[in-house]
Structure 1
Amino acid sequence: MRAADLDILFVPGLDGSGPDHWQTRWEEKLSTGARVEQDDWSRLALSPWRERLVERVAGATRPVVLVAHSAGVAAVAHAAPHLPAGVVKGAFLVSPPSRRVLRDLNACAADFADVPDIALPFPALLVASRTDPYASFAEAEAYARAWGAELADAGDSGHINAESGHGPWPEGLMRFAGFLKQLG
């Protein structure tokens, strides 16, 4: 699939993705990219985050590919069973946080932290670092198995965000292009 033929929906994590984050940079570069906005980026709340994602997918005019980071990955897992059938063609999932980390973020995140262990109804690539402070590689492997996602080992990459030196993240963009190509 070509990016020009898709609605590419970026799903940031807690506090959104700042101007130096690879998601923001990619969104600015990809003409069909758009952010799934939340009313409150500083508070994880399952129902509004899931509903906003479902609304955006339902309103898409082309096939959708989701690009999620951190808590946004958990939001995709929660929303997947509620998404319109056949609209999402794939999900590029980066640096999912552990359930423990999600619980510790704030008291409102308890239901958000109960990340489903069910197969996603679309192809997914999960990119995980071996040195992510928010989830062990073993936890990422467990998510990938449960979701039926392919796992990509990003090595020693921290949380794969601007703070870990992944501002533009060109290697990730190349991996994303390869993922789109696999989708057909």
Structure 2
Amino acid sequence: MSNSNITSATVLIIPGLREHVADHWQTLLAQKLPRVQSVAPLEHDKLSCAARVDAIERALGSIEGPVVVVAHSAGVMMLAHWASRYASRAIHGALLAAPADLETPMPPGYPTIDALNQHGWLPIPRSALPFPSIVAASSNDPLTRLARAREFARAWGSRFVELGDVGHLNPASGFGEWPLAETFISELAKSR
């Protein structure tokens, strides 16, 4: 990235429930950035919201200096839960891409609402986030209706950006690299 602000911030990648996927834009982004860390995949309790939130807290605790978070899908909800429980660390800003609406039934192959509820995901926190954030949402995401993404952004105090028809912004939707992420990260890195 050409912006000097981004080189001073560490970018913390928070993937969704499927964790790290080799050809996902978050993984490709991490390979390009000068200072990056990813929330480590869980060995146990993979569906536990508390375990995911604790993993975010551990990752943040190991970073010195400014942090910009880049969360995708259920990773967005993990960060919302982290902010409602901890917010123990100042975050410069967060890119919240294609948030997964865990309160609405999802397509086959994803956890059910009952399973998510049993593992502490529901309800989704609606408190204003204590850091600047951008919710970037798709108009045809199979995991979140655009109106719901807009509601989340409003509740969290996030700037809302409609991306158009980009599906769930993942390899299945045709996304490997997503250059716009770098633009958003640069904006967030200099937002304070």
Same fold (TM over 0.5): yes
Give 1:92's match in structure 2, choosing from 95, 98, 103. Answer: 95
The two structures, once aligned, show a CA RMSD in angstroms of 2.1
* 8 Å contact kept, 2:24–2:170: yes
When the two structures are superposed, what TM-score results if normalisation uses the length of structure 1? 0.90
- Aligned-pair CA distance for 1:40: 4.2
Q: Which runs of 5 or more residues in structure 1 are unaligned?
A: none
The percentage of counterpart residues that share the same residue type is: 32
- The answer to whether residue 16 in structure 2 is matched with residue 13 in structure 1 is yes
Please state if 1:28 is matched with 2:31: yes
1:105 to 108, 111, 115: 111
Report the CA distance between 1:41 and its aligned residue. Answer: 8.5
SS at match of 1:54: helix
**For 2:91 and 2:184, how far apart are their aligned partners in 1?**
19
In structure 2, distance between residues paired with 1:42 and 1:167: 28
Q: 3-state DSSP class of the match of 1:93?
A: strand
In the other structure, the counterpart of 1:67 is 70
Q: Give secondary structure in 2 for the equivalent of 1:100.
A: coil
Number of aligned positions between the proteins: 182
Whole-Å Cα distance in 2 between the matches of residues 42 and 70 of structure 1? 18
Q: Corresponding residue for 2:42? A: 39
Matched residue of 1:20: which SS? coil
Check the 8 A contact 2:132/2:188 in 1, yes or no: no
**5+ unaligned residues in a row in structure 2: which ranges?**
none
1:31–1:37 distance in 2 versus 1, CA, 3 Å: same
How many angstroms apart in 1 are the aligned matches of 2:132 and 2:125?
16
Deviates more, 1:89-98 or 1:165-174: 165-174
Residues 13, 71 of structure 1: 8 Å contact kept: yes
Q: Residue type of the partner of 2:95? A: F
- The amino acid across from 1:72 in the alignment is G
Shift of 1:66: 0.6
1:156 correspondence with 2:160: no
| TM-aligned CA deviation for residue 4 of structure 1 | 1.3
Say which SS state the counterpart of residue 104 (structure 2) adopts: helix
Q: Is the 8 A contact 2:94 2:188 kept in 1?
A: no
Using the alignment, how far apart are the partners of 1:92 and 1:61 within structure 2? 19
- State the TM-score, normalized to the length of structure 2: 0.87
